[in-house]
Amino acid sequence: MDHGRVQLEPCWLLSARPYSETSLLVEAFSERHGRIGLVAKGARGGKSRHRALLQPLRPLLLSWTQRGELAALTGVEANGPPPELAGERLFYGWYLNELLLRLLHRQDPHPEAYRAYGEALAALPGSEAEFALRLFEKALLADIGYGLDIPEDIDPALRYLYSEQEGFQPSARGHCSGRALIALRDGEPAGEGEWRTELRRLMRERVRRQLGGHELETAKLLRQLRARV
């Protein structure tokens, strides 16, 4: 395990929660180091210089000393403004973070997932926020070895059924249209329509499979929020 020092590494902050009476346990995501667990000593105190910056979804420059699974945070600087998210869009950002926290091991670099995460966050304030979630789910699953192989000869007029053994096969009982799969494969929205719901169901099942059948907390909270509205 690396016992060295890291200086001003570009990171996204995924979470920060209490760790002892005065400290925070920070989870960050770095292109070169992957998911990092850091102890921010004294960060809960009123005089902490770092507390205001240690907020989820913020791009930061972090410095730390690695001495085991958890590193000691030694420096924090802003690395640009956070995405302007509110309402459901904020839940979307938290959902991305929870995916990374649940599916990635610490100190295991995933540069493709890091790139996809930045692209997804940048897209969340726009009109295709939900589609950006689908593209991120697809990229993250591929980066950890569970990608979807969507064939080039998909017919937009047919429906498809997915199995682990055979992949996508045409079927009248299929849950996903060819139009939806082409949109996901090519990264291009296909206008309005049921295809968006189809992709949400498809990717939800793919993610749930990697979580051992469990569901992410942010996904449940978002459904509850929509039900109240």
Tell me which of 45, 78, 111 is where a domain ends: 78
Which value, to the nearest 10 degrees, does the dihedral of the CA atoms of residues 9, 28, 223, 148 take? 70
Task: Examine the domain organization and report whether 11 and 123 are in the same domain.
Answer: no
Whether residues 39 and 123 share a domain: the answer is no
Q: What residue numbers bound the domain in which 153 lies?
A: 88-228
Number of domains within the chain? 2
* Residue 112 backbone phi and psi in degrees, to 5: -70, -40
What's the pLDDT at 144?
95
**Short-list 106, 140, 112, CA closest to 26:** 106
Q: Identify any residues that bridge with 106 across adjacent strands, giving them in sequence order.
A: 35
Helix 129-143 with 195-210: angle, nearest 10 deg: 30
Tokens of 18: 């209490």
Residues 72 and 106 in one domain: no
Task: Report yes or no on 127 lying in a domain.
Answer: yes
180 inside domain: yes
pLDDT 10s per residue in the chain (229 long)? Answer: 445 899 999 999 999 999 988 899 999 999 999 999 999 998 887 666 777 899 999 999 999 998 888 999 999 999 999 999 998 899 999 999 999 999 999 999 999 999 999 999 999 999 999 999 999 999 999 999 999 999 999 999 999 999 888 999 999 999 999 999 999 999 999 888 899 999 999 999 999 999 988 888 887 787 777 777 6
Nearest to 130 by CA among 67, 46, 219: 219
- Which of 125, 142, 141, 124 shows the shortest CA–CA distance to 133? 124
- Cα angle: 195, vertex 198, 200; to 5 degrees: 110
Domain with 119 in it: what CATH number?
Answer: 1.20.1440.120
pTM reported for the whole predicted model: 0.91
- Considering the domain architecture, whether residues 57 and 150 belong to the same structural domain is answered as no
pLDDT of residue 1: 42
CATH number assigned to the domain comprising residue 19: 2.40.50.140
